[in-house]
């Protein structure tokens, strides 16, 4: 391993970055999986709920639930990118700077 890499490994900021970013990434991944497989399980076992009309119209609960699943994917990526491109990249920049 070269010197820069060794310095990075010894830098507590690196451990902080990796710990924070991994925890964040896994939390969001699990959130996405719960939403998606929740939706699939509702489709498999909760057909009657998804087919229940909202109020007196014909629009069923399935429509907002499905659209929510799609929108949640976009929102979760947005949340990740916001924090990663700001806070994490700044920390990363400092780590690379200090490794020189």
Q: Interface residues with another protein (CB under 8 A)? A: 1-2, 4-5, 8-9, 14, 17-18, 21, 25-26, 28-29, 32-33, 35-37, 39-41, 43-45, 47-48, 50-51, 53, 57-60, 62-63, 66-67, 69-71, 73-74, 76-78, 80-81, 84-85, 89, 92, 95-96, 99
- How deeply is 45 buried, as exposed, middle or buried, from its count of CB atoms within 10 A (0-12, 13-18, 19+)? exposed
Separation of alpha carbons 99 and 83, rounded Å: 23
Of the two residues 1 and 12, which places its CB atom closer to another protein in the complex? 1
**Closest CB 12 distance from another protein, rounded Å:** 14
Cα 5 to Cα 14, 17, 58, 73, distances in angstroms: 11, 15, 61, 35
**Closest CB 94 distance from another protein, rounded Å:** 10
**Closest CB 21 distance from another protein, rounded Å:** 8
- Taking a C-beta distance cutoff of 8 angstroms, is the pair 50, 60 a contact? yes
Separation of alpha carbons 3 and 59, rounded Å: 63
Of the two residues 12 and 44, which places its CB atom closer to another protein in the complex? 44
């Amino acid at each position: 391993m070269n010197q820069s890499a060794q310095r990075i490994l010894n830098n507590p900021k690196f451990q902080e970055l990796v710990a924070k970013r991994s925890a964040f990434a896994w939390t969001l991944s699990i959130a996405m999986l719960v939403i998606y497989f929740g939706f699939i399980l509702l489709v498999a076992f909760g057909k009657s709920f998804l087919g229940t009309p909202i109020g007196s119209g014909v629009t069923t609960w399935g429509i907002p639930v499905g659209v929510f699943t799609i929108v949640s994917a976009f929102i979760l990526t947005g949340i990740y990118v916001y924090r990663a491109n700001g806070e994490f990249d700044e920390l990363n920049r400092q780590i690379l700077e200090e490794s020189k």
